[in-house]
């Protein structure tokens, strides 16, 4: 009986999520990360990154970079360069970009919405915009 209890306890230990940590001024002054971190102290796993200027990202991180499924939101008041997308924020102001990131850059298909309404679908390759299309429903 005791060996099963020990196995259960060990199994639970492996399934528990990493403790959430806060990193202030992460990727720039006025930006803050909150979520899982790796042994190196960098974001690793699920977390949120928010900046006072209105940029934010909620999703997966790997070795401190956006990596995996996530949503990048742009609510900036002054123009800033969005390195993740290789564009100026004025082109994406008040929009949410939902897609996949690889090594800190947008990669693949992104649904772009504003106020919950899907506006268009953008395709990126390593942060470089390749195409912009209307959503299927709007094409009809």
Looking at residue 78, which CATH number applies to its domain? 2.20.110
What is the tens place of the pLDDT at every residue in 63-94? 999 999 999 999 998 899 999 999 999 989 99
Give the closest residue to 22 by CA, choosing from 60, 1, 49: 49
Query: How confident is residue 45, by pLDDT bands cut at 50, 70 and 90?
Result: very high
Q: Is the pLDDT of residue 17 over 60?
A: no
Domain-embedded: residue 65: yes
Q: Tell me the CA distances in angstroms from 60 to 4, 34, 110, one per residue in order.
A: 34, 12, 15
- Domain residue limits at 110: 22-139
pLDDT at 19: 65
The number of folded domains in the chain is 1
What is the tens place of the pLDDT at every residue in 91-111? 899 999 999 999 999 999 999
> What number of other Cβ atoms are within 10 A of residue 28's Cβ?
13
Domain-embedded: residue 3: no
pLDDT at 20: 83
Q: Tell me the CA distances in angstroms from 45 to 7, 15, 37, 69, 134, one per residue in order.
A: 25, 14, 7, 11, 32
């Amino acid at each position: 009986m005791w060996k099963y209890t020990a196995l259960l306890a060990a199994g639970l230990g492996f399934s528990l999520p990493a403790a959430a940590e806060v990193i202030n001024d992460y990727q720039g002054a006025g930006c803050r990360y909150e979520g899982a971190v790796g042994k190196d102290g960098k974001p690793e796993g699920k977390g949120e990154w928010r900046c006072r200027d209105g940029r934010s990202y909620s999703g997966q991180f790997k070795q401190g970079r956006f990596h995996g499924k996530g949503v990048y939101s742009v609510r900036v008041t002054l123009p800033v360069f969005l390195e993740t997308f290789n564009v100026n924020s004025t082109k994406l102001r008040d929009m949410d970009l939902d897609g996949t990131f690889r090594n800190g850059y947008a990669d693949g298909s992104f649904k772009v919405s504003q106020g919950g309404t899907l506006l268009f679908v953008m395709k990126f390759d390593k942060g470089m915009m390749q195409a912009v299309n209307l959503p299927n429903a709007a094409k009809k």
